A and B are shown apart, each in its own frame.
Chain A
């Protein structure tokens, strides 16, 4: 059993979630993830790590409430326990001195890009961060990210912060600032990963995406997380989750990500409003 240290909604629908898991905290690296089970009958779901404290033995993730399992996580209170918190899983993000690196984060990826930024900065890179959100009310950890970056760019759909726009404006914003990255790293929802890869392909900017397929075991045993990369079958949980965004078969990936749609929506309907009628 793993003790929940903190679980609070930091912006609408996104929760900061800290758990005591000393074995994970001791060895976790940027870009890795954990597998969490909210309760005994629960599903195993992957969450990227967004921060950790090796001394205190705690690990932090940011999760978005989307379906049954994340709804269960969202009800947890500090002091409660969860039965599974396994990790760290996956390969760490490659950290070297690449020169200039652009980190793109959206949704939960604003959190999970943070340890990547910190490590790249320590490795001597010039680090720029680009955050995308619907509105300023969905931004968080800006101060943490600012401290780990040489510059920040923000685009919001409603224009409440930074440029009114979205990821498609990223190349123009960078070029206005005179920045050409040697590498782009993207964390967040599938659309952000895909859109960024499409934008950077014609520019020839090497782009690393932190993939988030459906997973079960997270150890290479079930094969549900398979992704076509450069025409080859890869298992995101052991060969990734970082891959070259220009080599991913995005159409296939989007179809696979949605494969449990009907089943996942069903319990929601049953467990909420519908039951009152």
Chain B
């Protein structure tokens, strides 16, 4: 495609690095690691963009942000126009700019990536969102006249918040029901402060509140009221309840003391602020030698949390090799810098406790990679007779989560998909039950923030059509 070739300027193939807290310092605090671009760097990085006519990057973004559109505003120095551009399609830019797997999405598609490094789209998105936050006046979009229709949303995670945002702008009344005492879902209880400051999540949730969302906390849909009861009051209902059910390995010893699901470990630290115990009441153990089992973002977050809680040694135990690690590369590198020891090609088979029922060591097997499996990754196979013992006084299991069964258990008529999530139509996000939509991790199983938001947009559009009699 000829129009993507740069005509005037020479290719600037190196992306501008983003300043980070030094790793010697940051392992001692819970503050954000990446510090964001200063204005001049942001404008330099933005001017690397070729403003392609057929911008491939846009196709890589699940919520369809006009990427060259907002980047151009940064070059011009009109940051207010830039953030407005993003907010046309993305209600949570400060969050996406930080935690989106950009290297798999927008940045993967950027043409500059073919010759050198892609434009740092995520960092620029973050830059604008942070700039706006510093302005102390957040713009409220033009709202459609009230329609009088009422929508209930289950769960204040990224999926639910996105649906709320879109439907409020379209003039519908929205009530969000959240089981916990804070909004944000995994963004609040799972992803740690040092990767996503909670003040940012609070700010973005407050934004939807300012648009007029009613939020009912401590409300567990299924037991406080059922979906069917809510449907008597509301015209439509969206389920964005996430994938909160932690998996265990189903090996002996998993109920020993000192063995945690990553959800428990991270919730104690993030939601309950255990790292500030006893100022906050919820305790978290501070063991010397922690083993985290798994290789995704959740495992990296757990391992890096253990480092910050002061463990002497933190091991990340993963059954495949470094190339197969599902976590974002940037986070793997951060973890390595912070001193996390990677025990790759290693599989725990038994957890062994001391006489008081506390974890003492893990029996593991060495693995080697065989033929590729269904996921296309090479299958790990145990090396015969390679059993060995690894001492550990805490084990954090971070091998995955699946959708919580509470809602299907209490709601007749909701069909499930193969992952145990709610079955939906991909075009509309409608479930098998009339007037009920769903999206995000409750449908996909543990996925990403941006895919949850993408589902939310589809659902909101479909709910709007239904409410206005267009279908």
Closest to A68 in B: B281
| Interface hits, B45-80 → A, CB 8 Å | none
Q: In the complex, A143 Cα to B64 Cα: how many Å?
A: 66
Give A216-246 as 1s and 0s: 1 = Cβ < 8 Å from B's Cβ atoms.
Answer: 1101111110101000010000100000000
| Interface hits, B182-218 → A, CB 8 Å | 189, 216-218
Residues of A within 8 A of B406 (CB): 219-220, 238
Interface core residue of B180, B246, B278, B281 (most chain A CB under 10 Å): B281
Residues of B within 8 A of A35 (CB): 218
Q: Does B114 contact A (CB under 8 A)?
A: no
Q: In the complex, A69 Cα to B261 Cα: how many Å?
A: 24
Q: In the complex, A226 Cα to B180 Cα: how many Å?
A: 19
Given contacts A222-B261, A252-B255, contact A87 B224 (CB under 8 A): yes
Q: Are A233 and B223 in contact (CB under 8 A)?
A: no
Q: Does A89 contact B (CB under 8 A)?
A: yes
Q: Are A233 and B248 in contact (CB under 8 A)?
A: yes
- Secondary structure at chain A's binding surface: helix, strand, loop or mixed? mixed
Q: Are A217 and B267 in contact (CB under 8 A)?
A: yes
Residue B283 contacts which of A27, A86, A251, A264 (CB distance < 8 angstroms)?
A264
Q: Does A275 contact B (CB under 8 A)?
A: no
Q: Does A263 contact B (CB under 8 A)?
A: yes
Q: Are B267 and A216 in contact (CB under 8 A)?
A: yes
Give A245-262 as 1s and 0s: 1 = Cβ < 8 Å from B's Cβ atoms.
Answer: 000010110011011100
Q: Are B263 and A222 in contact (CB under 8 A)?
A: yes
Q: In the complex, A199 Cα to B448 Cα: how many Å?
A: 51
Q: Are A41 and B181 in contact (CB under 8 A)?
A: no
| Interface hits, B227-256 → A, CB 8 Å | 244-246, 248, 250, 254-256
Q: Does A267 contact B (CB under 8 A)?
A: yes
Q: Does A139 contact B (CB under 8 A)?
A: no
Q: Are A233 and B181 in contact (CB under 8 A)?
A: no
Q: In the complex, A35 Cα to B255 Cα: how many Å?
A: 23
Residues of A within 8 A of B387 (CB): none
Q: Are B255 and A89 in contact (CB under 8 A)?
A: no
Q: Does A24 contact B (CB under 8 A)?
A: yes
Given contacts A219-B179, A228-B255, A255-B257, contact A89 B281 (CB under 8 A): no
Interface core residue of B268, B273, B279 (most chain A CB under 10 Å): B268
Q: Are B278 and A221 in contact (CB under 8 A)?
A: no
Q: Does B272 contact A (CB under 8 A)?
A: yes
Q: Are B218 and A41 in contact (CB under 8 A)?
A: no
| Interface hits, B265-321 → A, CB 8 Å | 267-268, 272-273, 277-283, 285
Given contacts A27-B225, A220-B245, A222-B267, contact A260 B181 (CB under 8 A): no
Residue B223 contacts which of A84, A85, A89 (CB distance < 8 angstroms)?
A89
Q: How far is the CB of B53 from chain A (nearest CB, A)?
A: 46
Q: Does A270 contact B (CB under 8 A)?
A: yes
Q: Are A255 and B272 in contact (CB under 8 A)?
A: no
Residues of B within 8 A of A259 (CB): 257-258
Q: Does B117 contact A (CB under 8 A)?
A: no
Q: In the complex, A41 Cα to B268 Cα: how many Å?
A: 12
Q: How far is the CB of B129 from chain A (nearest CB, A)?
A: 27
Closest to B246 in A: A223
Residues of B within 8 A of A32 (CB): 223
Q: In the complex, A42 Cα to B179 Cα: how many Å?
A: 17
Q: Are B263 and A86 in contact (CB under 8 A)?
A: no
Q: In the complex, A259 Cα to B255 Cα: how many Å?
A: 11
Residues of A within 8 A of B278 (CB): 266-267, 270
Given contacts A86-B219, A216-B267, A222-B267, contact A43 B357 (CB under 8 A): no
Q: Are A83 and B181 in contact (CB under 8 A)?
A: yes
Q: How far is the CB of A224 from chain B (nearest CB, A)?
A: 5
Q: In the complex, A43 Cα to B284 Cα: how many Å?
A: 12
Q: Are B219 and A216 in contact (CB under 8 A)?
A: no
Give B350-366 as 1s and 0s: 1 = Cβ < 8 Å from A's Cβ atoms.
Answer: 00000011000000000
Residues of B within 8 A of A86 (CB): 179-181, 217-220, 224
Given contacts A86-B219, A86-B220, A219-B404, contact A267 B267 (CB under 8 A): no
Q: Does A23 contact B (CB under 8 A)?
A: yes
Q: In the complex, A132 Cα to B189 Cα: how many Å?
A: 40
Q: Does B264 contact A (CB under 8 A)?
A: yes
Q: In the complex, A249 Cα to B406 Cα: how many Å?
A: 25
Q: Are A222 and B225 in contact (CB under 8 A)?
A: no
Q: Does A7 contact B (CB under 8 A)?
A: no
Q: Does A121 contact B (CB under 8 A)?
A: no
Residues of B within 8 A of A24 (CB): 224
Residues of B within 8 A of A217 (CB): 179-180, 189, 244, 267
Q: How far is the CB of B157 from chain A (nearest CB, A)?
A: 12
Q: Does A37 contact B (CB under 8 A)?
A: yes
Q: In the complex, A23 Cα to B217 Cα: how many Å?
A: 11
Closest to B180 in A: A217
Q: How far is the CB of A78 from chain B (nearest CB, A)?
A: 21
Q: Does A44 contact B (CB under 8 A)?
A: yes
Q: Does B405 contact A (CB under 8 A)?
A: yes
Residues of B within 8 A of A42 (CB): 280-281
Residues of B within 8 A of A221 (CB): 189, 244-246, 263, 267, 404
Q: Are B280 and A23 in contact (CB under 8 A)?
A: no
Q: In the complex, A140 Cα to B357 Cα: how many Å?
A: 36
| Interface hits, B341-399 → A, CB 8 Å | 356-357
Interface residues of B (CB under 8 A from A): 179-181, 189, 216-220, 223-225, 244-246, 248, 250, 254-258, 260-261, 263-264, 267-268, 272-273, 277-283, 285, 356-357, 404-406
Question: 22 A-B Cβ contacts within 8 A?
Answer: A23-B225, A42-B280, A42-B281, A85-B218, A86-B180, A86-B219, A87-B220, A87-B224, A89-B223, A216-B267, A216-B272, A217-B189, A219-B220, A220-B245, A221-B404, A223-B248, A223-B263, A224-B264, A228-B255, A256-B257, A260-B283, A267-B281
Closest 3 A/B residue pairs (Cβ): A255-B357, A86-B218, A263-B283
Given A87-B218, A255-B356, A263-B277, 9 more pairs with CB closer than 8 A: A24-B224, A32-B223, A44-B181, A84-B218, A86-B217, A216-B264, A216-B268, A221-B245, A238-B404
Interface residues of A (CB under 8 A from B): 23-24, 26-27, 32, 35, 37, 41-44, 68-69, 83-90, 216-217, 219-224, 226, 228, 233, 238, 249, 251-252, 255-256, 258-260, 263-264, 266-267, 270
